[in-house]
Amino acid sequence: MQPVTARVTLVRYTPDAELVVAAAARLCYAAETDGLMAQDPEGVRRLVARLRRMGHLSPIEHVGFTFYLEGVSRAMSHQLVRHRIASYSQRSQRYVDHDGFDYVVPPQLAGHVVDTPGGPVPATEYFIETMGLIAARYAALNDALGRRGEASNEDARYVLPNACETRLFVTMNGRELLHFFEERLCLRAQWEIRDVAGRMLDCVREVCPAVFAGVGPKCVRRGGCPEGKMSCGRYIEMLERYGDESGGAHDATGTPAR
């Protein structure tokens, strides 16, 4: 039983993904379809970048990416599965007993103190102690229910915390990934899913740079935050961090960056 941090592995993706995207796009306008899969790499890169700038994103739906996520919390996974155009397989708390579960510690606890009857306790220490108490209660309830595998796990799990580590496979097509990144790289997104999104983006940029160039929170594409009073106020910082002309990013006036 110990604190864990996110680990993201890109386990599978469409071979020649950018070529597939370019071929799908060219097919829409091609009288002659021979040679669709025989385009030169530079031409493919330019076409994919143009598709992004135009907002012609349906060809990007033809490529897929599968990730294995470890060291993430149930709190994070509950947010992740709200992205419905995706496929998920998650480790079960019913079929797998969670004695001595690992857990995610929120970093914001650092530097804070909890007042207890015995005196002040560092918040991180208090949190870790709480995880141990929950683990003991989970084990005791599972024992009381007869340790009957899924038949007892399914009820004992009701005391497990949102911090409990989970592991899952996630598959998304390229277009849904673009949407996912725009929503979850936003500074208003919760810290853990934002961290996972950043790790996923690093993975796909390695294998599909033209599709994911200049990808960031939605303010980067829109030329400013659409959330009004709820804005983080850090648009320029996000533009400098994520903006890239090949991805069709915009400057502070909303003009395509050059």
Q: What are the residue numbers of the active site?
A: 184
Radius of gyration of the chain (CA): 22
Beta strands in the chain (DSSP E): 7-13, 64-73, 87-90, 113-116, 119-122, 165-173
CA distance 237 to 189: 16
How many CB atoms are closer than 10 A to CB 110?
10
CA distance 15 to 65: 10
CA distance 165 to 102: 5
Distant-in-sequence, close-in-space partners of 112: CB < 8 Å, separation ≥ 6: 122, 123
Structure-token pair, residue 95: 């079929």
